[in-house]
Amino acid sequence: MSLPPAFLDELRARVALSPVVGRRVKLTRAGREWKGCCPFHNEKTPSFYVNDDKGFYHCFGCGAHGDVIRFLTEQEGLGFIDAVKQLAAQAGMEVPADSPAARERAEVNDTLQSLAGRAAEWFQAQLRSPAGAEARAYLERRGVTPALVRDFALGFAPDSRTALKSALKDAGEDRLVEAGLLGRADSGDTYDRFRGRLMFPIRDRRGRVTGFGGRALGDVQPKYLNSADGPLFDKGRLLYNLDRAGPAGRKAGRLVVVEGYMDVIGVAGAGIAELVAPLGTAMTEEQLALAWRVVDEPTLCFDGDGAGQRAALRAAVRALPLLAPGKSLRIATLPPGEDPDDLVKRGGAAAFGAVLDAAVPLIDFLWASEVTGGDTSTPERRALVRQHLKAHSDSIADASVRALYAAEFAARFDAMFLARPQRPQREFTPFKPGTAWVPPRSGASAALKARPRAGDAAQETAAILLGLLTYPALADRHGEALAALPLPDPRQAALCNAILAILSARPHLESAALAHELGTEGLGASIDQLRASNRLRFSFTGTRADADVAAHDFAVLVDTILARGRVESELAAVTARLKVTLSEADFERQQALRAERVEIDEAMMRLAESRRDD
């Protein structure tokens, strides 16, 4: 009985190897693998390893090696078909019936695979030929080196309706159409599907070419064109570069999903190999499953503009039903107006790494998407936010993850909206030094057009450091206060100390010169990470505000942060005393401190909203 290779690949992907081996071998965790005493020879010291990610076992003692099917045939005495049937039942898959038609389909797929490989080699040859001069010039302008061209097997499709058809005419037009290499007009005539395009071979996870993506070099629509879906190619079940990024991602413990082929290639040129891209569509469930086979929390990288964030939200919502214990996503946001390729050209691998380091867990992204940037001033609007959050948690299929999401959303919502009374908006009144301010302990986050996230000290001090980088003269005015500033993040502390030391010696440095000095001290990556991770924006974090306004708001925030420590310390002491002995005076003081905290939080939100750098 002959089974389609695609079916066997899917079966191996769905069935984890370690539970099958674990029925016969006592396995213990060893990093990302499992180890135990080899069942193929007698040994006392374990040298037998099982790797679920790669889907194979290997014994360093006797050399036994294989996949889940081979393990059943050799250890349980099953025939190949019986082993496949047992695993298929476990995976909920139906074994294709053995029939002449099934055997013919398998032979056709082998033929189509061979044609795709031949086409890839032909496209590569065209790129090297005189006809590929325009494509080579485009790649050179984009900074794609000959080594990257070779590594990604890039090619060129000449602007001809028959060039590829003639080169592969021995295969027959019908097979070339089935392989997605030719198109067929209503008249029945066939033509090259890809013409005048830079060609990107698309491989399955085993490295076999299954189709192509083509980028137009002229003013032609569509800009990107993929192979048509068929027996060999299904764009919703493939990820560009997975065959290369999979091993790199397992080694790095990270897999990054970006938007396009050139993003993958451009970032690879900076030395980051663990990138994949969907094939011109939103991430599908099948593509998420492929990513989860590499790492437990892939990072989705999106543009920082409105369209990018909407795409991120769509991807996040699509992933929710599939979440399972240990399986989630992280969301990274690029600086507005830059894609990954642009970013690495400007700042190298460190700049892109800073964006990835600032990626947030899926639940944090969903929370921020619902509660920031919108109006939550009325009960009806807050009820709508709660409804959206409930819809997110309800869509999770796994009961344990669903319950924890619901509990976390409820706790954040209560802390933000129910733990303190909602007060009407008042006109902004400047902060007066000496007055104690403290934001409430809520889950809100602050951004250019959003509420600040109360109690997020690292975000607030990040804004202060960005203010110093933009307006270095502020260090001289607030030197003592800045020296006393609590810095919970050691990287921020190192950066702040370096800024103050440099400006103490050279107080008249401009912003660009200060950044250069910090770069020479090896702190350039820290600055990039600070900018990428900061979500609080005030007038002094941008360059277009009035200098006096920026200086005023900087002083307000510094004094606020310092005041928090004093108020929180007193509030904690009063609360502790009340737990031991009820005192009317302590109770009144506790209420006064809480009320003061509410008022200051509201004033701080208005500061962020009214003083933003538009």
Instruction: Give the CA angle between residues 103, 108, 112 to the nearest 5°.
Output: 150
User: Cα separations (Å) of 116 from 3, 120, 204, 227, 366?
Assistant: 21, 6, 12, 10, 41
Report yes or no: 416 and 444 within 8 Å, Cβ to Cβ.
yes
What is the average per-residue pLDDT within 300-313? 82
| Per-residue model confidence as pLDDT tens digits over 262-286 | 999 999 999 999 999 999 777 888 8
Residue of 463, 476, 489 whose CA lies nearest to 554: 463
- How many Å apart are CA 452 and CA 382, to the nearest integer? 17
Is the pLDDT at 196 greater than 90? The verdict is: yes
**Single-letter residue type at 94:** E
| Per-residue model confidence as pLDDT tens digits over 550-577 | 888 888 888 877 777 777 778 777 777 7
Q: What is the mean pLDDT of the chain?
A: 84
pLDDT of residue 581: 66
Q: Which residue has the higher pLDDT, 203 or 452?
A: 203
- How many Å apart are CA 353 and CA 351, to the nearest integer? 5
- How many Å apart are CA 101 and CA 106, to the nearest integer? 9
Report yes or no: 226 and 201 within 8 Å, Cβ to Cβ.
no
pLDDT of residue 419: 52
Q: Which residue has the higher pLDDT, 224 or 251?
A: 224
| Per-residue model confidence as pLDDT tens digits over 146-192 | 999 999 999 999 999 999 999 999 999 999 999 999 999 999 999 99
pLDDT of residue 611: 47
Tokens standing for residue 439: 């934001």
pLDDT of residue 376: 83
pLDDT of residue 606: 64
What is the average per-residue pLDDT within 478-499? 80
Q: Give strand pairing partners of 51.
A: 56
Domains and CATH numbers, the chain: 5-91 (3.90.580.10), 100-226 (3.90.980.10), 239-395 (3.40.1360.10), 454-610 (1.10.860)
Q: Give the β-pairing of 299-302 and 256-257.
A: parallel
What is the average per-residue pLDDT within 575-603? 72
Listed in sequence order, the residues at least 6 apart from 532 whose beta carbon sits closer than 8 Å to its beta carbon are: 333, 335, 351, 354, 355, 357, 358
pLDDT of residue 225: 94
- How many Å apart are CA 574 and CA 531, to the nearest integer? 38
pLDDT of residue 109: 81
Confidence of residue 447 (pLDDT cuts 50, 70, 90): very low
